[in-house]
Amino acid sequence: MLFATSLWLTLTECSIAPRDECCEWILCELERCRIANSRTPGNAKSIKGKLSSLLQSLCGRMGRTVTMALSLVLRCHESHGVTHFSPELKDVQFFLNIILEKGMRPSRKITLGAPARPHVLIWTDACDDNKYRGRGLVSVDTDDSSPHCTMCAVECPSWLLTTFKVQCSWVIWVLEMLAGLCGLLTLGQELRGRRVYFFCDPSASWSSMITGYSSSKMMARVSAPFQLFVTALNIDLWVELVNTDANNTDLISRPRSGRGELSKTIPPLVERPMIFISKEEFNDPALFFFKKWWE
């Protein structure tokens, strides 16, 4: 039996790392299926089984980002026989070739007892109207004796907005997903190795953040760097859906002229610039992952 991960345990820490032979078997098996343009129920089941064990052990709930998609892509029964290597499987293979490359494979360290650093709370939201398409972020870092709150907002750049309009019908859903990605990028290294509670709406972006799967190609394309960022920084992420009325970034995502009520926020929000993914990194998820891994 080929085990997916190795485990080391001390009195204070638990370390989980992927086994090289398992990663290489997964990549080789997918490549073999791609070259043959076929897969059977047997090898589909084997690939999914090893990936489920590997990624969920390493990435916790976010490990479902690939395995949930595989559940949909690889679902087949003996009666289906041999099927072709679908475009969805090619997308999965591309993602795995990034995170399972030798020397770049994620490992996970779990502190036993109290966490090394307290958690971070993040809310994100987006606005979509004819004149303004913005994204907002509010974060609460509980690492200090007096938790501090930050906020930031930015409009969607024209080069990406044009792509969204051409390739998807519900631009607001992609903007919400993009707000989540920008939220992680803005806080960056402050989140490394920490538990993060993430609150967002609507349900489309919430679902995509958890499962990594979307029937919308553009949603899936935006969620890929989101998932890669979480993996690269070893973030223990928990995503929850919040109603618009309870989302404290609703005003922040709107134009400045509509943020008057923010002055009443207690404690006051400290504004900082929002970091946005570059066009080069958006078009090349592997480059994005490698940069974040080595930061």
Contact between 44 and 22 (Cβ < 8 Å): no
* CATH no. for 117-294: 3.30.420.10
Whether pLDDT at 87 is above 50: yes
What is the residue type of 139?
A: S
Largest CA distance in the chain: 63
Pairing relation of β-strands 108-111 and 148-155?
Answer: unpaired
Between 109 and 143, residue with greater pLDDT: 143
Q: To the nearest whole percent, how much of the chain has pLDDT over 70? A: 80
pLDDT at position 197 is 92
Beta strand residue intervals within 69-156, DSSP E: 108-111, 120-126, 134-141, 148-155
pLDDT in tens, 56-76: 676 655 555 555 555 555 554
Axis-axis angle for helices 217-232, 203-211 (nearest 10) = 50
Q: Which backbone phi and psi does 283 adopt, to 5 degrees?
A: -85, -10
Q: How far is CA 218 from CA 67, 167, 234, in A?
A: 19, 7, 25
Q: How far is CA 168 from CA 32, 64, 218, in A?
A: 33, 24, 7
Between 200 and 294, residue with greater pLDDT: 200
Q: Which is nearest to 111 in space by CA: 19, 11, 229, 196?
A: 11
For residues 7-22, give the mean pLDDT: 83
pLDDT in tens, 20-45: 888 899 899 889 988 988 877 777 77
Tokens of 207: 């679902």
Please give the Cα distance from 248 to 265 (Å, whole number).
10
Whether pLDDT at 54 is above 70: yes
Helix, strand, coil distribution of the chain in percent, nearest 5: 50, 20, 30
Q: Which is nearest to 153 in space by CA: 122, 131, 186?
A: 186
Q: Domain coordinates of the chain in residue numbers?
A: 5-109, 117-294
What is the residue type of 165?
A: K
Pairing relation of β-strands 148-155 and 134-141?
Answer: antiparallel
Is 77 in a helix, a strand, or coil? coil
Whether pLDDT at 212 is above 80: no
Please give the Cα distance from 292 to 77 (Å, whole number).
39
Is 82 in a helix, a strand, or coil? coil
For residues 95-104, give the mean pLDDT: 79
Question: Which pLDDT band, with edges at 50, 70 and 90, does 157 fall under?
Answer: confident
pLDDT at position 263 is 53
Contact between 193 and 50 (Cβ < 8 Å): no
The answer to which of 49-63, 193-207, 242-256 has the lowest mean pLDDT is 49-63
Mean pLDDT computed over every residue of the chain:
77
pLDDT at position 215 is 73
pLDDT in tens, 216-245: 778 877 887 887 788 778 788 888 988 877
Is 13 in a helix, a strand, or coil? strand
Tokens of 87: 């475009």
pLDDT at position 12 is 78
The answer to which of 2-11, 52-61, 118-127 has the lowest mean pLDDT is 52-61
Please, is 27 exposed, middle or buried when counting C-beta atoms within 10 Å of its C-beta (0-12, 13-18, 19+)? middle
Whether pLDDT at 145 is above 70: no
Please give the Cα distance from 257 to 262 (Å, whole number).
11
pLDDT at position 78 is 41
